[in-house]
Amino acid sequence: MADGELIVKGGYVVDPTRKIDGEVADIAMKDGKIVDKVSSSAKVIDAKGKVVMAGGVDVHSHVAGPKVNAGRLMRPEDKLLSGTCRSGMAQKNGYRMESGFSIPSVFRTGYEYGRMGYSFVMEAAMPPLLAPHTHEEIHDTPIIDEAALPVFGNNWFVMEYLQKGEVENTAAYIAWLLKVTKGYGIKVVNPGGTAAWAWGLNCLNLNDNVPYFEITPAEIIRGLIEANEYLGLPHSMHLHQNDLGNPGNYKGTIDALKIAEGIKAKNKFGREQVMHSTHLQFHAYGGTTWADFNSKAKEVMDYVNKQKNITIDLGCVTLDETTTMTADGPFEHHLHGLNHLKWTNVDVELETAAGIVPFVYDPQSKVCDIQWAVGLELALFAKDMNRTFITTDHPNAGPFTRYPRVIKWLMSKKAREATLGSFKHKDKVIEATNIHGIDRELSLFEIAQMTRSGPAQCLGLKNVYGGLAPGMSAEVAVYDLNYKNMPSDPEKIEAAFQRAACFIKSGEIVVKDGEVVSNGHKKTVWVNVKMPENPQVTRDVTQAFTKGTYTMNLINYPVREYLAPHPYVIDVDVEA
Amino acid sequence: MPKLIKGVGCPYCGSSCDDIEVLVSDDETKILEVHNACIIGTNLFHHANDATRPKLPRMRQPDGSMKEIPYDEAIDWMAKTMLKAKKPLIYGFGSTNCEGMSAVGRIAEKSGAVLDNCATICHGPSFLAIFDNGYPSCTLGEAKNRADVVVFWGCNPMHAHPRHTSRYSIFPRGYFTQKGQMQRTVLCIDPRETDTAKLADHHLMLDQGHDYELFDAFRTVLRGFEIPETVAGIPREKIKESVEIMKKAKFCMIFFGMGCTHTDGRNHNIDHAISLTRDLNNHTKCSIMAMRGHYNIAGPGQVWSWQFGFPYCIDLSKGSHAHMNPGETSSVDLAMRDEVDCFVNVGTDAGAHFPIQAVQHLKKHPFITIDPNFCMASEIADLHIPVRIAGVDEPGVVYRMDNVPIQFRAVIKGLPGVPSDEELFDRVYERMCELTNTQPIWLAAKEHRKYPHNPVVS
C-alpha cells in the first residue's frame, strides 16, 4: 500500500450525507481518512458496476458483555447452527476460530460484521458493575469499532435523584459513570420495571409506582432525557420501553414517545433527537390477547413521522431460532412462562438485571409471522429514513447476520410476498397486518440512510462514520450490485449485502470477495464528560461502597485503561 | 516506609474478597502483613515471600533429576512439544487471571489442543444443568441486600469459603436487610453436621446421596401435591415447613456446592435445584448460585465462552470448529482413555486432583506444569515453568463466583525474569508461529501492549 493510499474506482456511490445517489465516482483514502484525491501510486480497487457505500453503523446490538456471554454459555446447541466453519485458508492464515449462530463468539461477531461491510457497532446494554467484562469482550472482537451504553433506567442513584427532581445530580452521576465504565451514553431498559423485578415484580404502565423508590417509569424517562440534554451527550437517551412484547402495548408506546414532546436537543454533535426508541417492533402491537394480536405499526409510525425529535430502530423478526436477552428481567421471566425453554437471569446489585431465554420464531406460528410483518411495516410506513434504522435487536428478534435479509424484504415486495406466501396462517396474518397491501420498495439510498448516515447522526458520530465526505474515517463497503440494473431476483440483493465485495475499515482492506483478509485495528469509542466534581454525588457513590451496599471495593470499580486499548474518546465539556 | 495497600483482591476462594489490606515493604518486594483476609487467604499472600519460590524453568533430565534451564529454552521446548503432539490437553486455570486464559486460546488453536478447566472436576455437572435448564441467578450484592431466606445445599462455606457468610450471605447488614443475621432464616441441607449447618436455623440432615429425591419432594410440595411420610430421611412436616419458609420469603437465595454436583444424581440434582428456583419465582423472588471454588474458576468459563462458545471441555483438534462433549472431551475421560499425547497443567494441580490412573496415562507423554509454586503436578512434570501469582505479583481480571469481574492488582513486584501466564503463553505462541512460518494474530488487546520485559536471571 503506497503511503497508506487507496482509491475505490468507478463504483456507483450512494452517500446520503452528501445526497449522492448512484453517481459514478471515485473514493480516495489516505492514512485512514477519506480525502479528495490521492497520488497515482495509490492502490486501486475496481468497483466498476458495483455499489459503494460508507461502512455500516449499527445503533443497537447485543454483541459483548455478561448477558451475551451467559447466552453463549447456556446454549451449546447454538453452535450447531454456526454455518461456515473456519476454512483451511483461514486456519493457515491464523484467523481465529468462529462459532455460534444467534450469539456468535467474539471472533465470529467481528468477522461477520466485517463481511457485511459494517464499521461501528453499539453494544446496547452494559451493566456498569460488569463493565470490565464488556470491555474484555470488546477488545477481543476483531475489525469493528465498538462502544457500549451503560444502563441507567433502574439505577438506584438515578431513581433517588430523580425522585427528588435533581436533574443536575443525575447528570453528574451519569458523567461519573460514563467515565469509570468507559461508556457511551444513556441506555434505559424497562425503566422502573427491572428495579421492581428485584422483588419479582414489574412496571408495565408508565405511571406504575416503582417499589420502594416512589417514582414512575414516566418520571425516569423524562428525567433522563433532561439529564442527557443537560450534559449534551453525543447520543440521546436510548429507550427500551415498558410492557415489551405484549398485545395492545402500542398505546403505552405512543404515550412514552410523547414524553419527548417539546424537548429540544442540545449538543455539539449534530444530533437532532432527544429520544431513541429502540426495537419498536416489540412495542407496536394491538389486540388484547394472542388470539386477536395484530399490527399497530401504522398508528405508531404516524406519531413518529410527525415528531421530529425521535429516532427509532426496527428490531425486525427474522423468523429464526434465536436467543432473547435483555436487561428487561421481568419480561424474560414472562417469556419463559410462554415457551418453557431454559431461563437465565442475572440481577445486578443497585443497577440492573438481565434475562435470557432461547426463542424460536416459527414461521408456522401466526404470532411470529405478525411480528415479522410489524418490523417491516415500521420501515415501510416511515417517512424519514434518516430517523429509522435497521436492526434486529440482535439477537432478540434475530441475529445481526440477517440484516441483508431484512434489506431484501424492504427492497422487494416480491420477496415479502414470497415469505408471506410460505406461511401456514397466511390469511390470518394478512388480516392482522398491513404488509400485504404495501407496495413500497425501499431504494439503495434509503437503505444507506437506515444503515449509515441515519444511525451515525443519531449517535452523534456523523463526522466520523456513515458517510464518504473527505475528512471522515475511511470506512468503505463495496457491494456486488449494479445500481443501474438491480437484480430481479431478490435473493441476489441479500447475497450482495451478506458478503461485501470489498470492505475497507479505517483505510485498511479487511474483506475481499466476502472473505476476511485482516483482523483490522479496532477501536473502543467512549464518552468522557468533563464537568466540575459534584460533592453530593461523590459522597453518595462513596457511601454506597463504604457502607457495603455494593459488594465490590470502589477502587476496583472503574474499568482500567488497558482493558480498552485503542480508545477513541469523545470529550464533552459541561460548563458549571 | 512500608506501604499499606487497600482494596486488594484475594487469590483464594470464589468469594474473591476485594477488601483485603496488605502491608508491603518499602521496595515492594515483601509482604509484611495481611489484614481482613481469612487464614487461608493470608497464607497465600505470605507464600509469595517464600525465598524458595522457583525462579527458572526446570527440565527433567534423563537421570530423572530436574535441572534449571533458561526461559527461552523452556518456551522453545513447550512450543515444539505442543506442535508435535496430535492432541495436547491444556487443563487448569482455577488460579490465574483472565488475561492468561485469553492468551492460551491462541496456543490451543495453533496446536489443535483440548482446553479444559477445573470445572471439569467440580462444577462441570452444574454446567450440564445450565445447558439444559438455564441459570436464574444474581450478583452477591443482591443476596446481601435482599435475601431474607438463605439456603445452603451441599456446601459448607464456613470452611470452603470462609468469608462468604460474613460478606454476603448470613451476617452482613444489607440495604434491605439492616438487621443482618436476625433478619435472615438460614436453611442448611447437608448429610453432615457441618459448621455451616450449626449456624443454620434449620438443618435438614438428609441421607447421603438422596439430594435428587429431596429436591423432588420440595417441588412436589411447592406445587401442592402430597409426599411420602419421609423423603431422603427427612420427615414430611419438616419438608413442608422448609418449603413454606422459602415460599414466604421476600427474596430466597439458594447456594449449592460439591455436595450436589458430586453425589448421586450430579447434574440432575442441579437441574432440579434450578427448576425449584424457577418454581419459587412464581410465588416470590428466588435466585440460585453455584459456590465456585477458586477465585477465578468462573473466569475460564467466561473467557472461553466468548472465544469458543463453550465454557469447558473444548476440543479444538479438528481445526475447523470447536467441539464440546463432556464425557468425550473432558480431561479425566480423555486421560483415562489415554487419548492425549501431551499435557499442560496451568494454575492448578492435576497431580493431586486427578484419579491416579488418569495421571499415570498422562505421565506417559510430555507433561508440562505452569505454576508459581512447587506442587505435585510440578514434581512429576517433564517441564515446570514458574510464573507470577495472579493477584499477588501480577494484576488481572478475575471473575467472582457470581461472574462479577474484579480487577485484581499486584501488591508486590514480580520476581525478576519470571513472566506472567499471559506473557509466557504469548511467547510460546510467537515461537509456534516462528516454527510454522506463520504470522501471529494479535487482536486489539495486544497491539499496543508492550511488556516490561524483566531482565532474565543469569
ipTM rounded to 2 decimals = 0.95
Q: Which of B290, B317, B349 is the last residue of a domain?
A: B290
- Domain membership of residue B142 (yes or no) is yes
Report how many helices (DSSP H) and strands (DSSP E) chain B contains, helices first.
19, 22
Positive or negative torsion for Cα A19, A22, A24, A30 = positive
Q: Which residues contact A205 (CB under 8 A, 6 or more apart)?
A: A217, A242, A243, A252
- Domain membership of residue B83 (yes or no) is yes
Q: Are A477 and A252 in contact (CB under 8 A)?
A: no
Q: Which of B290, B305, B325 is the last residue of a domain?
A: B290
Q: Are residues B129 and B18 part of one domain?
A: no
Exposure b/e, B33-54, CB count within 10 A at least 16 = b = ebebbbeebbebbeebeeeebb
Q: Which residues contact B360 (CB under 8 A, 6 or more apart)?
A: none
Chain A residues closer than 8 Å to B11 by CB = none
Q: Are residues B201 and B114 part of one domain?
A: no
Q: Which of A73, A92, A343 sits opposite B278 (nearest CB)?
A: A343
Chain B residues closer than 8 Å to A106 by CB = 306-307
Alpha-carbon dihedral of residues A391, A397, A400, A404, nearest 10 degrees? Answer: -70
Q: Are A315 and A282 in contact (CB under 8 A)?
A: yes
For range B31-46, the mean pLDDT: 96
Exposure b/e, B303-313, CB count within 10 A at least 16 = b = bbbbbbbbbbb
Amino acid at site B97: N
- For residues A9 and A566, what is the distance between their CA atoms, to the nearest angstrom? 30
| A158 or A89, which is more confident | A158
- Nearest residue on chain B to A108, alpha-carbon basis: B307
Chain A residues closer than 8 Å to B321 by CB = 79, 82, 85-86, 97-99
- For residues A63 and A118, what is the distance between their CA atoms, to the nearest angstrom? 13
Start-to-end CA span in chain B (Å): 30
The DSSP bridge partners found for residue A121 are A58, A146
For range A197-226, the mean pLDDT: 97
Q: How far is B134 from chain A (nearest CA, A)?
A: 5
Position B453 confidence tier, pLDDT thresholds 50, 70, 90? very low
- pLDDT of A121 higher than 60: yes
Q: Are residues B324 and B440 part of one domain?
A: yes
Chain B residues closer than 8 Å to A341 by CB = 134
Q: Do A199 and B251 touch (CB under 8 A)?
A: yes
Rounded to 10 deg, the angle between the A167-181 and A156-163 helix axes is 160
A267: left (phi over 0), alpha (psi -120 to 50) or beta: beta
Q: Which residues contact A413 (CB under 8 A, 6 or more apart)?
A: A438, A439, A440, A441
Q: Are residues B305 and B281 part of one domain?
A: no
Q: Do B140 and A356 touch (CB under 8 A)?
A: no
Q: Which of A97, A154, A325, A508 to substitute to test the interface with B, most B CBs within 10 Å?
A: A97
Q: Do B137 and A93 touch (CB under 8 A)?
A: no
Q: Are A169 and A547 in contact (CB under 8 A)?
A: no
Q: Are residues B232 and B360 part of one domain?
A: no
Chain B residues closer than 8 Å to A194 by CB = none
- pLDDT of A188 higher than 80: yes
Q: Do B444 and A64 touch (CB under 8 A)?
A: no
A126: left (phi over 0), alpha (psi -120 to 50) or beta: beta
Write down the pLDDT at residue A95: 82
| Percent of residues, chain A, with pLDDT higher than 70 | 97
Q: Are residues B138 and B101 part of one domain?
A: no
- pLDDT of A3 higher than 60: no
A-B interface: how many C-beta pairs under 8 angstroms? Answer: 228
Q: How far is A198 from chain B (nearest CA, A)?
A: 7
Q: Do B306 and A137 touch (CB under 8 A)?
A: yes
Q: Do A347 and B138 touch (CB under 8 A)?
A: yes
Chain A residues closer than 8 Å to B278 by CB = 336, 343
Q: Which residues contact A141 (CB under 8 A, 6 or more apart)?
A: A63, A64, A106, A107, A109, A110, A522, B443
Write down the pLDDT at residue A567: 93
pLDDT in tens, A511-522: 999 989 999 989
- Domain membership of residue B31 (yes or no) is yes
Q: Are residues B113 and B102 part of one domain?
A: yes
Q: Do A105 and B131 touch (CB under 8 A)?
A: no
Alpha helices in A206-328 (DSSP H): 217-231, 250-258, 297-306
Q: Are A290 and A367 in contact (CB under 8 A)?
A: yes
Position A83 confidence tier, pLDDT thresholds 50, 70, 90? low
- Domain membership of residue B346 (yes or no) is yes
DSSP one-letter code for A263: P
Write down the pLDDT at residue A4: 82
pLDDT in tens, B47-91: 999 999 999 999 999 999 999 999 999 999 999 999 999 999 999
Q: How many domains, chain B?
A: 3
- For residues B76 and A82, what is the distance between their CA atoms, to the nearest angstrom? 35
pLDDT in tens, A478-500: 999 999 999 999 999 999 999 99
- Domain membership of residue B212 (yes or no) is yes
DSSP code string of A533-563: --HHHHHHHHHHHHTTSSSS-GGG-SPPGGG
Q: Are residues B421 and B301 part of one domain?
A: yes
- pLDDT of B217 higher than 70: yes
- For residues A82 and B137, what is the distance between their CA atoms, to the nearest angstrom? 28
Q: Are residues B112 and B132 part of one domain?
A: no
The DSSP bridge partners found for residue A478 are A52, A502
Q: Are B184 and B144 in contact (CB under 8 A)?
A: no
> What is the domain-level CATH number for residue B102?
3.40.50.740
- Domain membership of residue B454 (yes or no) is no
Q: Which of A72, A105, A565 sits opposite B449 (nearest CB)?
A: A565
Start-to-end CA span in chain A (Å): 48
The C-alpha cell of A198 is what? Answer: 428485584
- Nearest residue on chain A to B7, alpha-carbon basis: A553
Q: Are residues B345 and B383 part of one domain?
A: yes
Write down the pLDDT at residue A87: 59
pLDDT in tens, B409-447: 999 999 999 999 999 999 999 999 999 988 888 776 555
Q: Do B405 and A133 touch (CB under 8 A)?
A: yes
pLDDT in tens, A333-362: 999 999 999 999 999 999 999 999 999 999
The C-alpha cell of A264 is what? Answer: 429540544
CA proximity to B155, closest of B115, B123, B116, B120: B123
Position A94 confidence tier, pLDDT thresholds 50, 70, 90? low
> What is the domain-level CATH number for residue B282?
3.40.228.10
- Domain membership of residue B140 (yes or no) is yes
Cα angle vertex A230, ends A226, A235, to 5°? 80
Q: Do A349 and B145 touch (CB under 8 A)?
A: yes
Q: Are A217 and A305 in contact (CB under 8 A)?
A: no
Q: Are B363 and B354 in contact (CB under 8 A)?
A: no
The C-alpha cell of B140 is what? Answer: 452477591
Write down the pLDDT at residue B321: 87
- Domain membership of residue B455 (yes or no) is no
Q: Are B386 and B55 in contact (CB under 8 A)?
A: yes
Amino acid at site A136: E
Exposure b/e, B326-353, CB count within 10 A at least 16 = b = beebbbbbbbbeebbbbbbbbbbbbbeb
Exposure b/e, B71-86, CB count within 10 A at least 16 = b = beebbbbbbebbbebe
Exposure b/e, A228-265, CB count within 10 A at least 16 = b = bbbbbbbbbbbbbbbbbbbbbbbebbbbbbebbeebeb
Q: Are residues B261 and B191 part of one domain?
A: yes
Q: Which residues contact B427 (CB under 8 A, 6 or more apart)?
A: B71, B75, B419
- Whole-angstrom CA distances from A177 to A151, A274, A440, A525, B442 are 10, 20, 44, 15, 30
Chain B residues closer than 8 Å to A93 by CB = 438-439
Q: Are A193 and A242 in contact (CB under 8 A)?
A: yes
- pLDDT of A60 higher than 50: yes
Domain hosting B429: range is 58-122+295-447
Write down the pLDDT at residue B452: 34
Q: Are A253 and A284 in contact (CB under 8 A)?
A: yes
Q: Which of B290, B318, B343 is the last residue of a domain?
A: B290
The C-alpha cell of B272 is what? Answer: 432440579
Alpha carbon of residue B261 to chain centroid:
14
Strands A118-126 and A145-150: parallel
B329: left (phi over 0), alpha (psi -120 to 50) or beta: alpha
Chain A residues closer than 8 Å to B449 by CB = 562, 565
Chain A residues closer than 8 Å to B134 by CB = 74, 336, 341-345, 356-357
Q: Are residues B436 and B299 part of one domain?
A: yes
Write down the pLDDT at residue B320: 84
Position B450 confidence tier, pLDDT thresholds 50, 70, 90? very low
For range A307-330, the mean pLDDT: 97
Q: Are A551 and A349 in contact (CB under 8 A)?
A: yes
- Whole-angstrom CA distances from A77 to A549, B6, B310, B377, B454 are 38, 44, 10, 35, 45
pLDDT in tens, A240-284: 999 999 999 999 999 999 999 999 999 999 999 999 999 999 999
Q: How far is B441 from chain A (nearest CA, A)?
A: 6
- pLDDT of B339 higher than 50: yes
Alpha helices in A246-394 (DSSP H): 250-258, 297-306, 329-339, 366-381
